[in-house]
Amino acid sequence: MLRCTFCGMRAGSSLLQLGDRLWLLQAGFTSRQLERMSWARMRRLVAEAESGMTAR
């Protein structure tokens, strides 16, 4: 299985998943934390952060 050496994404992942992972890496999460996290949880974290940014 091919993986990105930067973010750990598997080959064939969607661009939305890649964007979420990169956003969370920039927010301070480690790639190891993201490997253990479900994609649904990542999506929820990003959505919560985005809604908080637009509410300001």
The domain segmentation of the chain, as residue ranges, is 15-55
User: Quick check: 31 pLDDT over 80?
Assistant: yes
User: Quick check: 56 pLDDT over 50?
Assistant: no
53 versus 39: which is more confidently predicted? Answer: 39
CA 9 to centroid of chain Cα atoms: 9
Q: Which amino acid is at 17?
A: Q
pTM: 0.65
3 versus 55: which is more confidently predicted? Answer: 3
The angle at the Cα of 43, spanning 3 to 40, to the nearest 5 degrees, equals 80
In whole numbers, what is the pLDDT of the chain averaged over residues?
81
Q: What is the pLDDT of residue 28?
A: 92
Rounded CA-CA distance 32/41 in Å is 15
